[in-house]
Homo-oligomer: A and B are copies of this chain.
Amino acid sequence: MAKVAANNGEKGEKYHRILAAAQKIFAQNGFHNSKVAQIAKEANVADGTIYLYFHNKDDILISLFEDRMRMLIDVLRKELATIDSLADKIRAVIRLHFRLLREDPDLIEIITIELRQSTMFMKEYQNQQFRSYLQVLGDLLKEGKDQGLIRQDVSPGLMKRALFGMMDEISLLFVLSHKQNKYSIENVSEELSEFFLRGIWHDASELP
């Protein structure tokens, strides 16, 4: 299974060092309480260097999100390609989301909390990678409808968001409680999967 949060892409080493530092600092202090100088120090670069790679503080957050989402989508697509059953594909989507929660909790914290703190991100930015991620979910649902496995009155455009909302909110529960709660990530993943599949499936008794 590929590691989700690792990117040594073509953008240069310092770029990624700054993103990694930002992820840590943002998760630690929140976006608005994180200082650019802190990120620079964590990344071992000068304050000004940040601005050679990013337009401003918002851009760091957005770039971070885009970069991580791109990786998430890559891994997701690769994993889905190895699975035949549609139900198992949906289970894999959910499992991957919660796997991230353990492997890279800082990232999930940023997605669930900090992301919404950037006004520019919420209201102006087009959020392309996020839409792509939702699209993967939506495509699975459409595929299921075409195969007659999922009820015809299910709207993929709505249910893909419902699925994300569920995962996001429950991730938030873990993030805020610092994982000190009664549910294990594995059980949560499984229970959510069964709930979601039953909710959309044509005939729940035939669920594999």
Stretch binding the partner chain, chosen from A10-18, A60-68, A100-108, A169-177: A169-177
Pairwise interchain contact A176-B123, C-beta atoms closer than 8 A: yes
Question: Which residues of B sit under 8 angstroms from A194, Cβ to Cβ?
Answer: 153
Does A20 touch B at the CB level, under 8 Å? no
Query: Smallest CB–CB gap between A21 and chain B, Å?
Result: 20
Residues of A in contact (CB 8 Å), total: 40
Of the candidates B119, B162, B188, which one forms a contact with A195 in the assembled complex, judged by CB atoms under 8 Å apart?
Answer: B162
Does A168 touch B at the CB level, under 8 Å? yes
A interface with B by C-beta (< 8 Å): 30, 32-33, 113, 116-117, 119, 122-123, 153-155, 157-159, 161-162, 164-170, 172-173, 176, 182-183, 188, 191-192, 194-196, 198-201, 204
Pairwise interchain contact A162-B170, C-beta atoms closer than 8 A: yes
Query: Smallest CB–CB gap between A158 and chain B, Å?
Result: 6
Question: Which residues of B sit under 8 angstroms from A162, Cβ to Cβ?
Answer: 166, 169-170, 192, 195
Question: Which residues of B sit under 8 angstroms from A119, Cβ to Cβ?
Answer: 30, 32-33
- Chain B residue nearest to A159 in the complex (CB): B195
- Chain B residue nearest to A198 in the complex (CB): B199
Pairwise interchain contact B188-A158, C-beta atoms closer than 8 A: yes
List 11 A–B pairs whose Cβ atoms lie within 8 Å, in order of A's numbering.
A32-B32, A32-B119, A153-B191, A157-B182, A158-B188, A162-B170, A165-B165, A165-B168, A195-B199, A198-B198, A198-B200
Pairwise interchain contact A169-B161, C-beta atoms closer than 8 A: yes
Pairwise interchain contact A195-B154, C-beta atoms closer than 8 A: yes
- Chain B residue nearest to A112 in the complex (CB): B116
Query: Smallest CB–CB gap between A155 and chain B, Å?
Result: 6
Give bound CA distance, A201 to B158, whole Å. 21
Query: Smallest CB–CB gap between A157 and chain B, Å?
Result: 7
